[in-house]
Each structure stands twice: as structure tokens, then as C-alpha cells.
Amino acid sequence: MYSLALQALAAAVLPSALAAPQGLPSSYGASNGRSSYEDNTSSTLQSPSVHDWAEGAVSQYEIHKSCNATETAMLHQAITETEMMAAHARDHILRFGNSSAYYTKYFGKAPTAEPAGWYDRLVRGDKSGVIFRCDDPDQNCATQDEWAGHWRGSNASDETVICELSYTSRWYLPSMCGHGYTVAGGELASFFASDLIHRLFHTDKIGEATVFHYADTYDECLALAQETPAQAVRNAHTLQYFALDVWAFDIAVPGQGCTGVYVPEEEDAEAAPASTASSAAAATSTAAETTSAAETAEAATTQAPTSTMDDAESTTESATESAESHCHTHAGGELHCI
Ligand SMILES: *[C@@H]1O[C@H](CO)[C@@H](O)[C@H](O)[C@H]1NC(C)=O
Ligand SMILES: *[C@@H]1O[C@H](CO)[C@@H](O)[C@H](O)[C@H]1NC(C)=O
Ligand SMILES: *[C@@H]1O[C@H](CO)[C@@H](O)[C@H](O)[C@H]1NC(C)=O
Ligand SMILES: *[C@@H]1O[C@H](CO)[C@@H](O)[C@H](O)[C@H]1NC(C)=O
Ligand SMILES: [Zn+2]
């Protein structure tokens, strides 16, 4: 009865609001479901101080003006694919939940809300201040051999620099399952999209200083899912592997995918490259990350930057470091300060 009464009241008052000559578009009140039943509804709707909750929202990642036309076009495509890949990972989770074998493979028994939420933040979260730039402000592209890009860490925690190497080495999504690539045997950074998923989760704006490195190699990520699912759902590499695997299976090569087989690479088990204490934040504690097999294919040829500290430590140890004090270098020249 109460709602019927409200409807009657709204019906009685609404016409005057719609008739207001200076009011907002007539569809505004109606389509928003804002039944207007106050005495002076029309003046309220006309008020310039009407709350627009979405005002100032930033829905697109910024490509800095330092990027030339080619870089801008390639980054635009890469960002589009990054959002497509993350959106599909989210949608796969929303569709199947933990009845998906892919879900339990990577996230174990963890509730589905957190990983779905991380992907959604990347796709639909507010993006103000999240910038990709090409001008090498920290001079890492210029001075660090073979770096493909880096997070600016304490210098600008929502900014990512993409070095020239990225434009010549990353693949676009249509080549998924081509080039002999498999999810288990390939590199997480082979695809521009999965590389940028990782880089975006490093920004405070998207990753909330919470998506982190708990496990790196494919087999370590699978073990983490079974042993510590609460960490798997916020592990950067797990979020990349899952997104790649379900994109391959659902979209690229439907019903088949290209999961492949993990092949451990013994050679770099003990040869963790040390990173450079190159940022102010890193100065207090610089650590090399034990690199994953997936990432270290490049490591043989890509020597890590000259180390100023030889403090190598494992990923699990590094996970306990404070957010301000830890930088690591991935093989392939990605500096991540976490
Ligand atoms: C009419 O609207 C004004 C502001 O738009 C508000 O301050 C006032 O309280 C409203 N009056 C009633 C009776 O709702
Ligand atoms: C899947 O989720 C349901 C409901 O939350 C839960 O009862 C069940 O144990 C979960 N299964 C697995 C394999 O995690
Ligand atoms: C634009 O950037 C790309 C990739 O870094 C580079 O190869 C190209 O030479 C640049 N173009 C110009 C006109 O400088
Ligand atoms: C931050 O800026 C300093 C000074 O320019 C630079 O030495 C350092 O490498 C930068 N940090 C990163 C993570 O690039
Ligand atoms: Zn990282």
C-alpha cells in the first residue's frame, strides 16, 4: 500500500516537473527512477547543484603526449586489448565461478569476488592519473640494457614508462596460441596485454598496493592456488596466467586453448639477477627477485643491471617487505618497485 501511495503521489507531481521550462531533460527524473514527490520538486531539479555522482570520472588510461604517433597508436591498441583480456577474465569468473576448472586451477578454494574485482578495477575503475609515458623521465630505458619498461615507483606511483623495446617485442592478442606460444611454457610478458595487466596492477590506483608477488613461475602459481588461495587471488602472475589461459581457451582457440606444459629451466634457478638500487625507495632495500622460468628465457641474454647491492632474496621473502622499500628487476628488464 505504501508504494502504491508513493506512486500515486509521484504521478500527481511529476507532470509539473516535466513541464518545467528550464528543467533537466525530461528523461532525467524518469529514467533515473527518481520519483519526485516533494512539494517543490521542479525547483530542486532545476538547481545547478544537483549532484552528478559521475562528474570528473576518468574512464580511459592516459597515453602521455611524450609518445609519438606510432607509440600512441600501438599503446592504444595494447591498452584496448588489456581491457578486453581483463574483462574476459572477469566475465569467465562471473559466469562459471568456482565450477570452472580454470578457476580452481589458479585460485583454488578462494571466493570468486576478489579476483573478479581486481580485473574489474582494471577495466572499469577510475583511471585518473594512471599514465603511460614514453619520455623516459627516470632514464631507465636509456641506461638499463634491454629494459622494456618500468613502473615509476616512488617517483610517480601511478605512472608507467614503456621503453622502445616493448614496441618491437610484444605481441598483440590475435596471435594468441601462435608463434609456438603456450601459457605454461611461454612468457607472461610476450603479449602486450598480459604485460600491461601486470604493470597496471603495480600502480597504486589499480592495484591498491595489494596485488603483489607471492609466486612467479607457472608451477609456483599452481601450488599457491592449492596452498594459499587467499594469496593466489592477489598474486600478479596468477592474475596474468588465468587471464591468458581463459582468453586462449574461450576466445582465441575456442574449446582448445593452448595451456601447454610447464618446462622448468634449471639454468636460472640459482642465478637470480640483482637489481639496481636506482630509486629513492630502493635505496634502503634493493632486492633481486628469483626470476621465473617464464620470464628468464630472456635472462640468458639480458644481464640484469649492474647491482649496487647483492641482496638477493626470494619472492616469498620479498612479499613481506614494506611497499616503499622493495624494488625488483624481472628478467627482460622490467623494474617493479613494490
Ligand atoms: C525546496 O527546495 C529547497 C532547495 O531547493 C530546499 O531548501 C527546501 O527545503 C525545499 N522545501 C521543501 C518543502 O522541501
Ligand atoms: C565453490 O563455492 C561454493 C559456494 O561458495 C562452496 O560451497 C564450494 O566449496 C566451492 N568449491 C570449491 C571447489 O572451492
Ligand atoms: C616513434 O617511436 C617508435 C618506437 O619507439 C620509434 O621506432 C620511431 O622511430 C619513432 N618515430 C619518430 C618519428 O621518431
Ligand atoms: C626515480 O628518480 C630518480 C631520480 O631521477 C632516479 O634515479 C630513479 O631511478 C627513479 N626511480 C625509478 C623507479 O625509476
Ligand atoms: Zn612485478
Q: What angle do CA 308, 313, 319 make, to 5 degrees?
A: 115
One domain for residues 186 and 302: yes
Q: What angle do CA 275, 281, 287 make, to 5 degrees?
A: 30
One domain for residues 219 and 312: yes
One domain for residues 8 and 123: no
Does residue 55 lie in a domain region?
no
For 163-210, the pLDDT digits (tens) are 999 999 999 999 999 999 999 999 999 999 999 999 999 999 999 999
Q: Is the CB of 112 under 6 A from ligand 2?
A: no
Edge-first strand listing for the sheet containing 159-162: 62-63, 131-133, 159-162, 149-151, 334-337, 327-330
For 11-66, the pLDDT digits (tens) are 444 444 444 344 334 443 334 444 445 555 555 566 667 999 999 999 999 999 99
One domain for residues 170 and 32: no
Does residue 52 lie in a domain region?
no
Mean local confidence (pLDDT), 300-317: 29
pLDDT at 181: 98
One domain for residues 74 and 146: yes
Structural domain range at position 208: 62-337
Locate the ligand 4 atom nearest the alpha carbon of residue 278 and give its number.
Answer: 9
- 3-state secondary structure (DSSP) of residue 283: coil
Does residue 70 lie in a domain region?
yes
CA distance 102 to 227: 16
CA distances from 23 to 48, 203, 270 (A): 10, 42, 70
Q: What letter does residue 9 receive in the DSSP assignment?
A: H
pLDDT at 264: 87
One domain for residues 82 and 42: no
pLDDT exceeds 60 at position 215: yes
List residues, by chain if needed, whose CB lies under 5 Å from ion ligand 5.
336
For 110-153, the pLDDT digits (tens) are 999 999 999 999 999 999 999 999 999 999 999 998 999 999 99
**Residues 211 and 122: beta-carbon distance below 8 Å:** no
Does residue 182 lie in a domain region?
yes
One domain for residues 223 and 165: yes
- 141, 151, 155, 285, best to mutate for ligand 4 pocket (most atoms within 8 Å of CB): 155
Q: Which residues, in sequence order, are CB contacts of 254 under 8 Å at separation 6+?
A: none
Alpha-carbon 238 to chain mean position = 12
One domain for residues 171 and 218: yes
One domain for residues 40 and 69: no
pLDDT at 131: 98
pLDDT at 284: 32
Cβ neighbour number for residue 79 with a 10 Å cutoff: 20
CA distance 133 to 62: 8
* Statement: the pTM of the whole predicted model exceeds 0.85: no
Please give the tally of structural domains in the chain.
2
One domain for residues 39 and 135: no
pLDDT exceeds 50 at position 308: no
- 94, 98, 104, 112, best to mutate for ligand 2 pocket (most atoms within 8 Å of CB): 98
Does residue 57 lie in a domain region?
no
One domain for residues 245 and 284: yes
Q: Which three cell numbers stand for residue 54?
A: 559521475
Does residue 12 lie in a domain region?
yes
Between 204 and 274, the higher pLDDT residue: 204
Does residue 121 lie in a domain region?
yes
One domain for residues 130 and 33: no
Does residue 54 lie in a domain region?
no
